[in-house]
Amino acid sequence: MDFYYAINVDILDISLKLPSEACIYSYILFLIVSSLPMDPKAFEVRYREQIKDILNRLQSAMVVSSQLERSIADIGEAVQLLSRDVEQFLADQRPGPGGGNLS
């Protein structure tokens, strides 16, 4: 079973593999269990390093997410402009009042 969600953003030329929520919990549990023989100070250092890594990856994911959101908005605007151009072209081609001719 794959515990990762793959996010491939070709338009941004970014590929990111993010762990699912279940994987994060499993990983934290693994860290706690595998760290039990450590002294408290070593455990604290390891815990802080892992939290820092997780937060850095979440921050990176948020940056990619906002870039993707902006890209989707730009694509939506382009589709609206194209739709408006097509409607205007079709209106200009209609015979009769307000429209062009089909010649």
Whether the predicted pLDDT of 54 surpasses 70: yes
Q: Where are the domains of the chain?
A: 4-93
CA end-to-end span of the chain = 62
Instruction: Count other C-beta atoms under 10 Å from residue 69's C-beta.
Output: 10
What pLDDT is recorded for position 98?
Answer: 58
Distance between CA atoms of residues 48 and 62, nearest Å: 21
Two structure tokens written together for 25: 């919990």
What pLDDT is recorded for position 7?
Answer: 43
Distance between CA atoms of residues 52 and 25, nearest Å: 16
Q: Mean pLDDT across the stretch 10-25?
A: 54
| Residue 41 binned pLDDT confidence (cut-offs 50, 70, 90) | confident
Whether the predicted pLDDT of 59 surpasses 70: yes
What pLDDT is recorded for position 11?
Answer: 42
Distance between CA atoms of residues 21 and 43, nearest Å: 23
SS3 content of the chain, % helix, strand, coil (to 5): 70, 10, 20
